[in-house]
Amino acid sequence: MIEIGIIGGTGYTAGELIRLIIHHPKAKINSVVSRSHPNKWIHWTHQDLLGEIEMKFVDSLNEKIDIVFLCSGHGQSRKELKEISENVKVIDLSQDFRLMDQSIFKGRSFVYGLPELQKDNIKISNSIANPGCFATAILLAILPLAKKKLLKQHIHISAITGSTGSGKKVSETNQFSWRNNNISTYQIFKHQHLKEIKQEIQKVQNHFPYEIYFIPYRGNFSRGIIATLYTYSSFSLEENREFYKEYYKNHPFVEISDININIDLKQVINTNKCILSLMKEKDQLIITSIIDNLIKGASGQAVQNMNLLFNLDETCGLKLKSVRF
Q: Residue 164: its pLDDT value, please?
A: 82
* Domain spans of the chain, in order of start: 2-131+296-309, 133-293
Q: Kindly give the pairing relationship between strand 274-281 and strand 254-256.
A: parallel
What is the DSSP-derived secondary structure letter of residue 72? Answer: S
Q: Residue 170: its pLDDT value, please?
A: 58
Q: Residue 75: its pLDDT value, please?
A: 81
Q: Decide if pLDDT at 40 tops 80.
A: yes
Q: Tell me how far the alpha carbon of residue 10 is from its chain's centroid.
A: 18
pLDDT confidence bin for 166, thresholds 50/70/90:
low
Q: What is the dihedral of CA 154, 237, 200, 220, to 10 degrees?
A: 80
Q: Kindly give the pairing relationship between strand 27-33 and strand 89-92.
A: unpaired
Strands laid side by side in the 111-112 sheet: 27-33, 2-7, 67-70, 89-92, 127-129, 111-112
Identify the architecture of domain 133-293 in CATH: 2-Layer Sandwich (3.30)
pLDDT confidence bin for 233, thresholds 50/70/90:
very high
Residue type, 305: N
| 210: β partners | none
With residue 217 as reference, give the H or E element that holds it. strand 212-218
Neighbour tally for 126: CB within 10 Å? 16
Of 83-87, 144-148, 169-173, 206-210, which has the strongest mean pLDDT?
A: 144-148
Instruction: Give per-residue pLDDT as tens, 247-292.
Output: 999 999 999 998 878 899 999 999 999 999 999 999 999 999 999 9
| CB crowding 89-123: b at 16 or more within 10 Å, else e | bbbbbbbbbbeeeebebeebebbbbbbbbbbeebb
Q: Decide if pLDDT at 239 tops 90.
A: yes
Q: Decide if pLDDT at 300 tops 80.
A: yes
Q: Residue 169: its pLDDT value, please?
A: 63
Residue type, 315: T
Annotated catalytic, 133? Answer: yes
What is the arithmetic mean of pLDDT over 206-233?
A: 95
Q: Decide if pLDDT at 47 tops 80.
A: yes
- Please identify which of the residues 71, 133, 274, 316 carries the catalytic annotation: 133
Picking from 318, 272, 264, 320, the residue whose alpha carbon sits closest to that of residue 295 is: 272
Topology of domain 2-131+296-309 in CATH is Rossmann fold (3.40.50)
What mean pLDDT is reported for the chain?
Answer: 93
Q: Decide if pLDDT at 152 tops 90.
A: yes
Looking at the chain, the whole-number percentage of residues with pLDDT higher than 90 is 79
Q: Residue 103: its pLDDT value, please?
A: 93
Q: Bigger pLDDT: 289 or 179?
A: 289
Q: Residue 49: its pLDDT value, please?
A: 93
What is the arithmetic mean of pLDDT over 173-182?
A: 76
Q: Decide if pLDDT at 168 tops 60.
A: no
Q: Residue 165: its pLDDT value, please?
A: 72
Q: Residue 35: its pLDDT value, please?
A: 86
End-to-end CA separation in angstroms for the chain: 35
Q: Tell me how far the alpha carbon of residue 278 is from its chain's centroid.
A: 21
Neighbour tally for 229: CB within 10 Å? 21
pLDDT confidence bin for 199, thresholds 50/70/90:
very high
Q: Residue 158: its pLDDT value, please?
A: 98
Q: Residue 285: its pLDDT value, please?
A: 98
Q: Decide if pLDDT at 52 tops 90.
A: yes
Q: Residue 2: its pLDDT value, please?
A: 97
Alpha helices in the chain (DSSP H): 12-22, 42-45, 77-81, 115-123, 133-147, 176-179, 193-204, 237-247, 300-309
- Do the Cβ atoms of 101 and 115 come closer than 8 Å? no
Q: Residue 38: its pLDDT value, please?
A: 86
